[in-house]
Amino acid sequence: MAVKKSYTVPCSARFRDAVNDLANQRGVNAADLARSILLAVPPETVDAAPDTGEPGAADRETVILKTGPAAGRPWRRKPRLQVRMAEGTTPLQIRRALSLALALAEGRTTLALALEPKRPAEPKPLVKIDPAVAEALARLEHSQAEIERLRAVVATLAFAPLPHGIRTRDEALHVLGFPPGMKPAPATVRTRFRMLATIHHPDSPYGSHDRMSQLNAAVDLLKRG
């Protein structure tokens, strides 16, 4: 299991507040948003994302010290985000990832996430597996499931309900996360629908009646044409 480390990410107060607002809307935290982008988006795309940079000289916040000789005194410091991420990540990478998450949520950019084809199940071994190997395989399976969950979070960030509903094929493709003009196979459409439905169903933590209705309408339109 990857070792996690607490990172202090200096940023403007405006950027910090926007990230926290988005995390609250999605029912997650800032680390989940950053982890989703870093795991689901190619590194070169993250590296190309704009960096909002550290706060300016006048951008400071006042906190009350809780420990040490100066406990109880006010202290002026740079605004920041405190996130727990896998060891080896840098504050710059985290800030770029969060910048990309905000751009997705605000509709300033879009991403087309390619779903990997499902591999056929491996035949069950006829020999007894060493317990240590079995445990390692179980951890790997858990990690793959976590990556798929975080990919779904990214898809949630990129999907905003269309105010006028689904009227064209390209709008249906947009709602399902496909590029305009693409002709996905019916099996691919069903797989994408099931993945998004687990997120957008009204009974789920991220559920939305409007999003679920538009997912159903998008699938129906693609089936017809």
Mean pLDDT of all residues in 47-63: 89
Which phi and psi (to 5°) does residue 7 adopt? -115, 135
The string of DSSP codes covering 54-76 is SPPTT--EEEE--SSTTTT-EEE
**What does the CA dihedral 30, 34, 40, 41 come to, rounded to 10 degrees?**
140
Does a structural domain hold residue 210?
yes
What pLDDT was estimated at residue 80?
92
Tell me, yes or no, if the pTM score tops 0.85. no
Domain end marker among 105, 121, 147:
105
Domain end marker among 78, 105, 132:
105
Does a structural domain hold residue 189?
yes
Helix (H, G, I), strand (E, B) or coil at 6: strand
pLDDT over 80 (residue 70): no
Mean pLDDT of all residues in 189-210: 82
Does a structural domain hold residue 14?
yes
Residue 37's domain spans which residues?
4-105
Does a structural domain hold residue 60?
yes
Domain end marker among 65, 86, 105:
105
Higher confidence at residue 2 or residue 191? 191
Q: Are residues 98 and 13 in the same domain?
A: yes
Does a structural domain hold residue 132?
no
Q: Are residues 18 and 98 in the same domain?
A: yes
Higher confidence at residue 14 or residue 113? 14
Higher confidence at residue 219 or residue 156? 219
Does a structural domain hold residue 175?
yes
Q: Are residues 165 and 101 in the same domain?
A: no
Overall number of domains in the chain = 2
d(CA 142, CA 145): 5
- The kind and range of the H/E element at 9 are strand 4-10
pLDDT over 80 (residue 1): no
pLDDT over 70 (residue 67): yes
Q: Are residues 12 and 99 in the same domain?
A: yes
Higher confidence at residue 132 or residue 126? 132
Mean pLDDT of all residues in 34-59: 89
For the stretch 15-31, pLDDT in tens is: 999 999 999 998 999 99
What's the CATH number where 172 sits? 1.10.287.110
